[in-house]
Every structure is written in C-alpha cells, then in structure tokens.
Amino acid sequence: MSKQYPILALVVLAMALLACGNLPAVNLSSDRQATAGPLNAPVAAITPAVPPTLLPSPTPLSQALIQEADAEELLLINLYERVSPSVVSIQAVVAGETFEHPPLPEGVPTPEIPNEPFRQEGEGSGFVVDTQGHIVTNNHVVVDTTELHVTFSDGSIVPASIVGTDPDSDLAVIKVDVPSESLRPIIWADSDQVHVGQRAVAIGNPFGYENTLTSGIISGLSRSLPAVTGYLIPEIIQTDAAINPGNSGGPLLNSQGEVIGVNSAIVPSFNQLGERSFLGVGFAIPSSLARRVVPALIEKGEYAHPWIGISGVTVVSEIAAEMGLPEAKGALVIRVIPGGPADEAGLQGGEREVEVLGRPLTLGGDVVVRIDDYEVSRFDDLLSYLSRRTEVGQNVQLTIIRDGETQTVTVTLGRRPATAVQQ
C-alpha cells in the first residue's frame, strides 16, 4: 500500500467532518493549509486509525534449491577438510648487515644502536607434493631468504631449506624434515582441461591469516605474465577467487580439490596506507608448467628453459595490411638475438619502422605460422609450444612467411639466458 495512504485518509475524513460543520483547521503539509477554523485541536484527535502496511510474505525456497545450496556448502567443506592439511604457511626472513649510523656533526654523540643484523620478514603459502617433505611455492616467496619456517595446518612449525628455484616460471621447491606419515601430498590436475566459468578455489594465508579458503571461477585462460627475468610465463590462469598478499605459492584448486595452478600474482589496488588489496583479478601458474618444472627442481635444483632467440608480436589486421599478408595470423619476428638459435638458423627480423595502432613497430621480418605440426596464430602460441613440448637441444621446424613466400627453417633450441636480452 502507498505511503500516501494516511494523508489521503485524513483528507477524506476532513471532508466528511466539514460536511458536519465541526472540523477544526489542520496543517496537512508544509505547503497546503486549511482555510477555516481555529488552530486549537490536537492532531491526534483527527488522525484516523490506519491499518499498518502489510508486507508480502517471502516466497519459500523450493526443496530443490535448498538441497543445491547445501550441496555447494558440503562440497567446499569437504574440499577444505581434505586439502588444507596439504597447504602450509611459509615465513621467510631476509637478514642484512648490521646498521651503521651515518656520520654526525662534531660534538654530537652517536646514539646507541643495538649491534643486530637487519631482518625483514615476509609470508607466503605452499603445498606438499610428496612424502619426502618437498613443498612447492613461488620463487618470489623464498628468493634471497636466509631463513625459512613452515607452519602446518595443525600449528606445528618446522624449519625448511631451499631445494631449487626457477625465476622464469616463478616456482620454487623447499623441503622440511618431518615424518612421511605426517605429510599429505596434493593431487595434480591437468590445467589443459580447465574451462572459463568453472569453479576455482584457493587455500592460503592472505595477510597472515592461515588456512583461508576463498572461491570463485576461472575468469580467463592463456594469459601471459612477466617474470622477474624479463621473459613471459605463458598459459597463465586468471581467476576471481580472492587472492591477496600471503596467498602467493598456494594452490588453485578445481571442484575435486586437485591443483590446477599455483597462485602467483594479482592486479592490486592500494588503500590510503599503501597496502595492496584484491580487485578480482588474480593469476596462477598452470599445473602443466609446474609439473614439468618441479621434478627438475627436486632433482637438479634448476630448470633449463628452451630458447629460440627472437622477440616478436602477434600479427594483427593492421600489421597484415602493412606487410601484404593473406591473413592476420602468426608471430611476427621483430628482432633476432645475435648469436642465438634463430640467428644461427637464418631467421630474419624487421628492417622498417612504421606506426601501428599509435605505436612504433619494426615490420618486414619473418612471420612464424607453424612450429612442427602446431599452428601458430598468436605469438603466445609459440611460447606455449616451447614451454610444454620442447627441451634444450631439440630441433624444431618453423614454417615461416618471408617476402610472401612460405618456407621451412630448422632451429636447434638453446638454453635461455639468465635474463632477457633488452629489446
């Protein structure tokens, strides 16, 4: 019923009483006034009894919807109970040199400062991968640390040591010395089977809050993430499951509680204190890459990434038009790194500078449209193939377009340098 009902009822009653000749004047609103009668009657005396507004009763949920909601809750509860014992909190300490106070003016006494080394502490996440005590985390969680401690879900804290690191994939393996029967290894999933829209669950230690579960969906696939070395990590998984500082190195799980990725980065926002928080865009290193890198880190302490020695971009329609290509497809070689595998194989980079989409770009180089039997539609396709299907020393066949002609070039892959060659 409308909120104007009491006023309308009052007007009707007033008209009825006026007809009887005994209604005193009442101020009905700030801009409408009665024109006759003394203003001496209490308002309550003329306010009619108005029944309260009746709100409709909420429609009860169907039993099917209640059961569906209960099933969702039970799934997450069961997943957490099974997987959280496999997830750990990692406390990392970086110790520096003792602090030395800068010189002070003559006659000013130097303050007494404890002669203790500088310590910086950080926190991340990780997960157990076998009964030998190996734990996977991010490289950036443990890099340059002098001391590591791992906290398990039962509250026990043990020291850990670094087994291997790989800055190019932002992955690392650390190890704890605990009885094998107390370890609960995770189960890997195949990230190639992941689809946009499916459920994604993260367990980690955001802001130090240990064993926190968040859930969302897979928001995107085939993203690229820059590593600290300057190279790109291909096939990154994007999720809207809340990931915050402290989640780094923890698992991203499917509905079965299997690991589809290693949480690594976010697109952050910053509050007034300069603290980072989640905007709904998080990234995880795919399990397909982790399952290649982790065994090598355990065995050798490092992973040798295959390298072709080029820089380039995806051929878009503007590039195709400028170069007279039949279609907008392939990886355009902008630069061939001198002395690299592609240089030795005779690949050619661009030689003329033009502006494409408002940005300067070097055109005229070879366009890679296939590597072995794998079609290359984007530059990331080339990176993905090298990452998942090749190794150092392997020969690959590149199908290229050069000066409008299609030809094949054989390249022997080398080992990627420690840092990307500046372009």
For residue range 96-125, list pLDDT tens digits in order. Answer: 655 555 666 666 665 555 555 555 678 999
Q: Which amino acid is at 335?
A: R
Distance, first Cα to last Cα, the chain: 70
State the catalytic residue, choosing from 166, 168, 170, 380: 170
Q: Is the pLDDT of residue 198 over 60?
A: yes
Q: What is the token pair recorded at 420?
A: 């990307």
CA 239 to each of CA 300, 369, 383: distance values in angstroms, whole numbers, following the listed order: 32, 30, 21
Q: What's the whole-model pTM score?
A: 0.76
Supply the pLDDT for residue 62: 77
Q: Is 140 a catalytic residue?
A: yes
Which domains are seen in the chain, by residue range? 5-45 (no CATH), 85-96+117-182 (2.40.10.10), 191-300 (2.40.10.10), 306-415 (2.30.42.10)
- Contact call for residues 262 and 138 (beta carbons, < 8 A): yes
Count the neighbouring beta carbons within 10 Å of the beta carbon of residue 184. Answer: 16
Supply the pLDDT for residue 30: 35
Confidence at 247, pLDDT banded by 50, 70, 90: very high
Which whole number is the average pLDDT over 124-150?
Answer: 95
State the catalytic residue, choosing from 89, 125, 248, 384: 248
Backbone angles phi, psi at 61, to 5 degrees: -70, 145
Q: For the chain, give percent helix, strand, coil, nearest 5.
A: 20, 35, 40
Count the neighbouring beta carbons within 10 Å of the beta carbon of residue 174. Answer: 27
Which whole number is the average pLDDT over 220-241?
Answer: 93
Which whole number is the average pLDDT over 279-294?
Answer: 94
**Burial environment of residue 185 by CB neighbours within 10 A (0 to 12, 13 to 18, 19 or more):** middle
Supply the pLDDT for residue 412: 97
Pairwise CA distance, residues 337 & 419, whole Å: 13
% of the chain with per-residue pLDDT over 90: 63
Q: What is the token pair recorded at 179?
A: 């009885």
Q: Is 30 a catalytic residue?
A: no
What are the DSSP E strand ranges found in 106-255? Answer: 117-128, 134-137, 147-151, 157-166, 171-176, 199-204, 212-226, 232-239, 251-253
Supply the pLDDT for residue 118: 54
Supply the pLDDT for residue 334: 95
State the catalytic residue, choosing from 86, 89, 134, 140: 140
Confidence at 31, pLDDT banded by 50, 70, 90: very low
Supply the pLDDT for residue 375: 96
Q: Is the pLDDT of residue 5 over 50?
A: no
pLDDT in tens, 289-342: 999 999 999 999 999 999 999 999 999 999 999 999 999 999 999 999 999 999
Q: How many residues does the chain have?
A: 423
301 — alpha (psi -120 to 50), left (phi > 0) or beta?
left
Least confident residue range of 61-70, 231-240, 247-256, 335-344: 61-70
Supply the pLDDT for residue 279: 79
CA 122 to chain CA mean position, Å? 19
Q: Is 170 a catalytic residue?
A: yes
Q: Is the pLDDT of residue 21 over 50?
A: no
Q: Is the pLDDT of residue 8 over 90?
A: no
Most confident of 93-97, 226-230, 405-409: 405-409
Q: Is the pLDDT of residue 271 over 90?
A: no
Q: Which residue has the higher pLDDT, 357 or 76?
A: 76
The mean pLDDT value of the chain amounts to 83
